[in-house]
Amino acid sequence: MNPVAPRRVAFYTSNAGKFEEVRALLRPQGFSLRWARGELLEPQAETLERVVEAKLGQVRPRVGEMALVEDAGLFVPALGGFPGVYSAYVHRTLGTEGLIRLVAGRPRRAEFRAVAGVRFGSRRLLRAGSVEGSLARGPRGDGGFGFDPIFLPLGERRTFAELPLEEKIRRSHRSRAIEGILRALGAEPPPKKA
């Protein structure tokens, strides 16, 4: 029998921007979120799925909580998918302008991808989400975090950092991954009445 997913969620991330986005997504669905900050080592692996699986193996949610982890990155096909799983490191070292310089003279297509994973009882669920777009010529906008100022979602003139936060959240790779988790949880059987 499948256990029913707890409505209390411990989100393991050190990124305040991610926490705000995920809380805004999950609260209307009746979930309460605890920020489990700095409780995980960031594993090094070559795919987002492997990073998420490794994180799920480390988490120690409290009794009655569901653990949520997520890993994301910006993938640029003209750079062989770089920075991908190395996005946090590249953002810290080269920054948004450094990435723009790397892509000069090449096709500017880019994709944000995220994998979200939850664990409760012995159950684990992983779902992926992505959003296609391109790299702007330079950083624009004050919203969001990370590479938001240089990412133009397909068909949009504003970067993610120029969009109102609710709109970025609605269109983001992270929302899509988490919506996949919510759909899978929605397929769980309702709790048996005593």
Known catalytic residues are 71
- Is 31 a binding residue for ligand IMP by CB under 6 A? The answer is no
Rule CB under 6 A: choose which of 88, 94, 128, 165 binds ligand IMP. 88
Got the DSSP string for 34-97?
EEETT-S-----SSHHHHHHHHHHH--PPTTEEEEEEEEEEE-GGGTT-BGGGHHHHHHHTHHH
Q: Are 80 and 128 in contact (CB under 8 A)?
A: no
Q: Which of 12, 82, 120, 147 lies at the binding interface for ligand IMP (CB under 6 A)? A: 147
Note whether 165 and 22 are within 8 A (CB). no
Are 106 and 55 in contact by the 8 Å Cβ rule? The answer is no
State yes or no: residue 86 binds ligand IMP (CB under 6 A): no
Candidates 24-32, 103-111, 119-127, 145-153; binding stretch for ligand IMP (CB under 6 A): 145-153
Q: Judged by CB under 6 A, does residue 111 bind ligand IMP? A: no
Amino acid identity, position 37 = R
148 sits near ligand IMP (criterion: CB under 6 A): yes
Provide the token pair at 26.
């999950």
Parallel, antiparallel, or unpaired for β 109-120 and 8-12?
Answer: unpaired
Residue least distant from ligand IMP (Cβ)? 146
> Least Å distance between CB 79 and ligand IMP?
14
- Residue closer to ligand IMP (CB basis): 139 or 144: 144
Per-residue x/- marks for ligand IMP, 41-80, CB under 6 A? ------------------------------xxxx------
Question: What is the distance between the alpha carbons of residues 43 and 82, in angstroms, rounded to a whole number?
Answer: 18
- Contact residues toward ligand IMP (CB under 6 A) are 15, 71-74, 87-88, 91, 112, 144-148, 160, 172, 174
